[in-house]
Amino acid sequence: MTNQAAAADTITFLGTAGARFMVSRQLAASGGIWLSLAGTQILLDPGPGSLVQSAKRKLNAEKLSAIILSHRHLDHSADTNVMIEAMTNGGFHQHGALYAPADALDTEPVIFSYLRNFVAEIVTLKAETTYSVDEVSFTTSVRHDHPVETYGLVFEAAGHRFAYIADRYFPELAASYRGAELIIINTVLTEPRPPIAHLSLPDAERLITEIKPRTAILSHFGMHVWQARPWVVAEEMSRRTGSRVIAARDGMKFDLAGLESSPAAAKVEKNG
Ligand SMILES: [Zn+2]
């Protein structure tokens, strides 16, 4: 039986800035995504500002069970060390796991050696593999086409299936994310700009058309997407695709229960 008082299953966007210019100038906040699913807390891609933004939103890092990196680039990993310290109360409460691709852990690690014993486990992510953290399971996608080893993720928890899609479109990508009710897409570019290996707005639209989720959330905006006003872009994309497309806002807390009903599930918390 589910506990009536059980906390909601939510996805909080600590920030919405993506790639170097938006992140460097902090035109929007950055810091990744905080998942609270069936009572399990997971931090995804702790980019610059993760510590500050999570503390500001009263998200307690000591409650985290895992930190997951899709890849080693700074906008996804800069606060990994400080968040490990926060998760483990400075190493006095050893627990939790760090999941990251091999190249984020080996040659030039994103985690300092003295912090490695603070966590209970360091797990090397491999393509198309399923992992579990307490009440949550997640499966990595095929390896993305990006300069460093990168995986998107499909989460299953609390009766929901949702996906986080990291970078650059290629035709086989959608297959990894089929069946997701919700997809979160990192949309850095307004148009594909090879050789820049990021997802663009037309790529996002193509993924939505192929995967057909109930809801898609655009986030991790590059400068030009930001200038095009993501909320306007999202509304137009909703009309064209028939899926509900939302532009994330800094601090937005998305309640997964909203996937079952039609009115907007996104509750935007005060930006402060
Ligand atoms: Zn990257």
Q: What token pair was written down for 168?
A: 């650059």
Q: How far is the CA of 150 from the centre of ligand 1 (A)?
A: 8
Q: How far is the CA of 73 from the centre of ligand 1 (A)?
A: 5
Q: How far apart are CA 256 and CA 236, in angstroms?
A: 23
Q: How far is the CA of 146 from the centre of ligand 1 (A)?
A: 7
Q: How far is the CA of 262 from the centre of ligand 1 (A)?
A: 33
Q: How far apart are CA 88 and CA 234, in angstroms?
A: 38
Q: How far is the CA of 152 from the centre of ligand 1 (A)?
A: 12
Q: How far is the CA of 189 from the centre of ligand 1 (A)?
A: 13
User: Distance between the two ends of the chain, CA-based, in angstroms?
Assistant: 37
Query: Any residues with CB less than 8 A from the CB of 148 and at least 6 apart, and which?
Result: 71, 72, 73, 101, 103, 104
Residue pair 53/16 in contact (Cβ under 8 Å)? The answer is: no
pTM of the predicted model as reported, rounded to 2 decimal places? 0.92
Q: How far is the CA of 142 from the centre of ligand 1 (A)?
A: 16
Q: How far is the CA of 128 from the centre of ligand 1 (A)?
A: 19
Q: How far is the CA of 149 from the centre of ligand 1 (A)?
A: 9
259-to-31, 160, 161, 256 alpha-carbon distances in Å:
25, 9, 10, 6
Residue pair 40/135 in contact (Cβ under 8 Å)? The answer is: yes
Q: How far is the CA of 145 from the centre of ligand 1 (A)?
A: 10
Residue carrying the six token digits 């899709």: 70
What are the strands of the beta sheet with 97-101, ordered from one edge?
Answer: 121-125, 97-101, 64-68, 40-44, 33-37, 10-13, 252-255, 266-268
Inter-residue long-range contacts of 193-199, CB under 8 Å, 24+ positions, other chains counted: 197/145, 197/146, 197/147, 197/167, 197/168, 198/18, 198/19, 198/167, 198/168, 198/222, 199/165, 199/167, 199/168, 199/169
Q: How far is the CA of 10 from the centre of ligand 1 (A)?
A: 25
Q: How far apart are CA 220 and CA 223, in angstroms?
A: 10
Q: How far is the CA of 181 from the centre of ligand 1 (A)?
A: 25
SS3 assignment, position 94: coil
Q: What is the pLDDT along the chain (272 residues), one digit of tens a residue?
A: 444 446 799 999 999 999 889 999 999 999 999 999 999 999 999 999 999 999 999 999 999 999 999 999 999 999 999 999 999 999 999 999 999 999 999 989 999 999 999 999 999 999 999 999 999 999 999 998 888 999 999 999 989 999 999 877 777 888 888 999 999 999 999 888 887 888 899 999 999 999 999 999 999 999 999 999 999 999 999 999 999 999 999 999 999 998 876 444 444 444 44
- What DSSP character marks residue 61? G
Q: How far apart are CA 144 and CA 165, in angstroms?
A: 9
Q: How far is the CA of 19 from the centre of ligand 1 (A)?
A: 7
